[in-house]
Amino acid sequence: MLTLPGLIDPHVHMREPGQTHKEDWRSGTAAALAGGFTCILAMPNTDPPVTDPASLESAEESARKRALCDYGLFLGAGEDNVETAAGLAPKTVGLKMYLDRTFGPLRLGDPGAIAAHMTNWPAQKPIVVHAEGKRIALAIQLAARLGRSVHIAHVSRKKEILLIKLSKEKGLAVTCEVTPHHLFLTKEDIPRIGAGRSEVRPKLATKADQQALWENLAVIDCFATDHAPHTIAEKDGENPPPGFPGLETALALLLGAVREGRLTMEDILKRMVDNPRRIFHLPEQVDTFIDVDFDAQWTIRGHYLQSRCEWTPFEGMPVRGKVVEVNLRGRIVYQAPDVLVQPGYGRDLFGPALPPEPIKPIPM
């Protein structure tokens, strides 16, 4: 049995408000706990997207009522919310900018609007960018010119990781994350997964791209699941939306790489605890840890996942390593396969100040 700190996932899509048939704050944070995550950072491409005081308040309320683990909320950057966004910054973990098209309506095409957000958004609050290929270069260039940091989400291609490597070598304030699906799947897996179910942004890449990610592990600051649940019916339908669930499979896949000698436990903890905490300025979660049975063998099955979407691109894959218990702020919140706290136990790390924790009795 391994005892590890609670993991942090800096890139998760809860579907509430608006699309709770895919996921809600309870089902999504149950998936987080089952995967060993005690803190998740939620993306703003809900319905409506989180871009103004009313939509932020509605997302805060959903999370406050139903979250089982701790969380922070991202605000979405739009072409016309530059001033409003900056005013809401203290209530959020950071700003998310979509420079390329993906699921949902949020999109920043105009470089002028990107620059305006980068100028107005408080320097001490992170900006996360969804960008691919040349748009990554644009984001890094603008951030450098404006003298601020930028975090690149879900890097998937060789050219992209090499560009980020070069930027870091030049001393630019760039950080990045990579998903387990881009580390463990490629285009070659599409026939097995199915065309609709394989849709994800960024798309599954080539073996050479995948290899470049592994060869440049030192450039990767965080592992982030980009947990993006859609139902099986939607994925198998006419117009399959992009996205994979990932919270419940990430740790077992990464522990497999530890077994194979491709990663160390330190590599994992740096990218799933220390770096996310540092990059996103997250407070320490006291008395928070997970127990993992390193040897437990299981087969990934969508049907048994806590996530409402009930499918996974890793269906049928044998893995080892299972989260057996999660302690969050001094309470056992999960004992596989059961959630042991009520919805609402999770705290907004950027919300109103927390009431003090109850004083624990001193053991005799």
Binding of residue 13 to ligand DOR (CB under 6 A): yes
Least distance CB 363 / ligand DOR (angstroms):
46
Interface stretch with ligand DOR, choices 174-182, 239-247, 250-258, 297-305 (CB under 6 A): 239-247
Q: CA 280 to CA 125: how far, in whole Å?
A: 8
- Residue 34 in the binding site for ligand DOR (CB under 6 A): no
CB neighbours of 18 closer than 8 A, spacing ≥ 6? 46, 47, 48
Per the CB < 8 A criterion, the answer to whether 100 and 130 are in contact is yes
Q: How far is the CB of 278 from ligand DOR (least distance, A)?
A: 23
Closest to ligand DOR by CB, 128 or 323: 128
**DSSP-assigned letter for residue 227:** B
Indicate the Cα dihedral angle 326, 328, 333, 339, nearest 10°.
Answer: -80
Q: At its nearest, how many Å lie between ligand DOR and the CB of residue 202?
A: 7
Residue 130 interacts with ligand DOR (CB under 6 A)? yes
Residue of the chain from 26, 181, 201, 235 that contacts ligand DOR (CB under 6 A): 201
By CB under 6 A, the residues from 49 to 108 that bind ligand DOR are 102-103
Q: How many Å is the Cα radius of gyration of the chain?
A: 19
Yes or no: say if 300 and 317 are a contact pair by the CB < 8 Å rule.
yes
Is 28 an interacting residue with respect to ligand DOR (CB under 6 A)? no
**Longest Cα separation, the chain:** 64
Q: Whose CA is closest to 347, among 329, 334, 331, 325? A: 329
Residue 45 contact, options ligand DOR, Zn ion, none, Cβ 5-8 Å cut-off depending on partner type: ligand DOR
Measured from the CB atom, the residue of 98 and 345 that comes closer to Zn ion is 98
Interaction between residue 136 and ligand DOR (CB under 6 A): no
Of the pair 241, 343, the CB lying nearest ligand DOR is at 241
**Is 177 an interacting residue with respect to Zn ion (CB under 5 A)?**
no
Closest contact distance (angstroms) between CB of 11 and Zn ion is: 5
Query: Are the C-beta atoms of 205 and 187 separated by less than 8 Å?
Result: yes
Beta carbons of 306 and 275 less than 8 angstroms apart: no
Which residues on adjacent β-strands are paired with residue 326? Answer: 290, 334
Query: What residues line the site for Zn ion (CB under 5 A)?
Result: 226
Query: What residues line the site for ligand DOR (CB under 6 A)?
Result: 13, 45, 102-103, 130, 200-201, 226, 228, 241-243
